[in-house]
Amino acid sequence: MNDLQVQAWLDRYVAAWSSYDPAEIGDLFSEEASYRYHAGDDPIVGRVAIVADWLNPGGDPAQRDAPGSWRARYMPFLVVGDRAVAYGTSDYDATESAPARIYDNCWLLEFDADGRCRSFIEYYNKRPNAS
């Protein structure tokens, strides 16, 4: 993997999050991928389980982020072989003048030979000056 390939994957991640299209989500991850929303979580294991959790987070589809209620931008920070560290921001309930909640994100990613993520671990912090 290189910076451009990781950036393309990150852009596809945001597009899949926006669409909640099962095929777009599934195409991001390898068959046996592990996904952690929080570093200390037990992983969600397998593409099918990851897609199902994105579509029905915590068993409640109402927990999905509503279209237009957020913005996100992620970039590769470091890419070494099949591993990458990405960083960026997510802001929720945003308006043109001020985002309501801003999160700084760091993701640890590992990719397979086809460019699909096989391990995803998220670290994030809410900015204290955000509402």
Q: Are 28 and 12 in contact (CB under 8 A)?
A: yes
Answering whether pTM is above 0.85, one says yes
Q: Are 122 and 40 in contact (CB under 8 A)?
A: no
The pLDDT tens digits of the residues spanning 87-106 come to 999 988 766 666 578 899 99
Name the domain count of the chain. Answer: 1
131 in any annotated domain: no
| Structural domain containing residue 56 | 3-125
CATH number at residue 117: 3.10.450.50
50 in any annotated domain: yes
118 in any annotated domain: yes
Q: What does pLDDT average to over the chain?
A: 92
26 in any annotated domain: yes
18 in any annotated domain: yes
130 in any annotated domain: no
27 in any annotated domain: yes
